[in-house]
Amino acid sequence: MKRIFAVILLFITSQYTIAQDIHRLSPTPPMGWNSWNWYAKRNINEKVVREVIDILSGKEFRGTGYNYVVVDGGWRDTKLGPNGELLIHAERFPNGIKALADYAHSKGLKFGLHTVPGTHDCGGDAVGGFGNEEVQIKQFIAWGVDFIKLDKCRFTPGWDEDVLKDTYVKWSKILKESKSDIVLSISAYKFRDWSKDISNMVRTTSDISPKVGHGAFFDEIPKEFHPYKSVMGIADENNKLAKFAGNGYWNDPDMLVTGAQGLSHEEQKVHFALWCIMTSPLMIGSDLINMTKEEKSILLNRDAIMIDQDPTEQGTRIKVDGDTEIWAKKLKDGRVAALLINRNKSANKNIQLNFSDLGISGKVKVKDVYEKKKLGTHTTSITKSVKPRSGLFILID
């Protein structure tokens, strides 16, 4: 009995040590850009990534927090080397990965890669890390990688939960033992209790529907496009996991689908505001090179980013009334961010936020986050008419 207890205690202690070590790397949710939603596997290349690095390190984005440039699928060859090492797609990335990582670092940014822990990538190529973990992690370290997106994809003969857990724990343990400062992002399509202790961020649902799928959806999504998820569908699921976020671990509701991916401008504003209220990693998934002023006005909103990066808590949905709902997040300086959403397709809705629901009493000042204007002083509540498929993002002081 004592031996069993000792083994259990050793496992718990080991998990706690891993958590402490890795969580120091992400005191706030990571921010950056990921290539998948826009470029997928065949359209990403070295030239595009260099342009993205130039933009994120340029005048408009510098200092906003978007620091990680993550290349998703498409950088690998279709097979492994003789020792299980990853081979770089020579046509798309002729100068290799280290040159790109070095370039990102020279511009004050960090560099990330997508990889798979199973036997095959999501397209079926046998380039997985299963059994080759140490070899491949050494490659990532040698290349200067700062961020790994570890995507479940395929495993032959088939994943089960025990193999899945053991595999992800192994990656995390090797990274810890290597004393590397690599942020680990787990993408295994749902939250598992153990995953928060071995990583910095964990995908809580299946993929958000992006440009490379069938385009983004705000709320309902056609059955033929399942298991892709809509913006609000993901928010509904992510909301249930709020208690796990914080202290260097962040629930990941997937990449942002702003820009020309199917959402209206108002829907994009709600989408970004929700991700900020939920203290989510903010990974831009759109065409950064040809980004419009309208999209930039959303993604570069300083108050919205401040709300997201405040690590006090993951905000939650506090009220539902028919087609309308209210989300709120308490900030470390005592202010509260709130989001009033109208999910109705065609009708305006009056939405009332009672300050007592936020634990607030007395006079407060309210600011519209997107319009950057004051909405006056209020005492007990604020009521606003919100357009269909739209929202009001406010700061309460």
Q: Which of 4, 47, 16 is nearest to 247 (CA)?
A: 16
Residue type, 344: N
> For residue 283, what are its two tokens?
């990974």
**Domains of the chain by range and CATH?**
28-309 (3.20.20.70), 316-396 (2.60.40.1180)
Which pLDDT score, from 0 to 100, does residue 21 have? Answer: 86
CA gyration radius, the chain: 21
User: Could you list the pLDDT tens digit for every one of the 397 residues in the chain?
Assistant: 555 544 444 444 445 556 768 999 999 999 999 999 999 999 999 999 999 999 999 999 999 999 999 999 999 999 999 999 999 999 999 999 999 999 999 999 999 999 999 999 999 999 999 999 999 999 999 999 999 999 999 999 999 999 999 999 999 999 999 999 999 999 999 999 999 999 999 999 999 999 998 999 999 999 999 999 999 999 999 999 999 999 999 999 999 999 999 999 999 999 999 999 999 999 999 999 999 999 999 999 999 999 999 999 999 999 999 999 999 999 999 999 999 999 999 999 999 999 999 999 999 999 999 999 999 999 999 999 999 999 999 999 9
Calpha distance 99→183 (Å, rounded): 20
In tens, the pLDDT along 253-290 reads 999 999 999 999 999 999 999 999 999 999 999 999 99
What CA–CA distance (Å, rounded) separates 270 from 86?
Answer: 39
Give catalytic residues, as residue numbers: 151, 207
Alpha helix (H) residue ranges in the chain: 2-23, 36-39, 46-56, 96-106, 133-143, 161-177, 231-238, 265-277, 293-299, 302-309
Tokens of 220: 């309902």
- The predicted pLDDT at position 356 comes to 97
DSSP output for 300-366: T-HHHHHHHH-TT---EEEEEETTEEEEEEE-TTS-EEEEEEE--SS--EEEEEEGGGGT--S-EEE
In angstroms, the CA 133 to CA 216 distance is 34
The pLDDT value recorded for residue 224 is 94
Does the pTM of the predicted model rise above 0.75? yes
pLDDT at 27: 98
- Give the model's pLDDT for residue 19: 75
What pLDDT score was predicted for residue 46?
Answer: 99
At residue 10, the pLDDT reads 46
User: Closest Cα to residue 297, out of 326, 277, 268?
Assistant: 268
Residue 7 has a pLDDT of: 44
pLDDT digits (tens, 9 = 90+) for 43-66: 999 999 999 999 999 999 999 999
Query: Among 243, 130, 115, 117, which residue's Cα sits nearest to residue 191?
Result: 243
At 125 the pLDDT is 96
**Which residue type sits at 6?**
A
Concatenated DSSP letters of 256-318: B--SSSS--HHHHHHHHHHHHHTT--EEE-S-STT--HHHHHHHT-HHHHHHHH-TT---EEE
Evaluate whether 82 touches 88 at the Cβ level (below 8 Å): no
DSSP annotation of 62 reads T
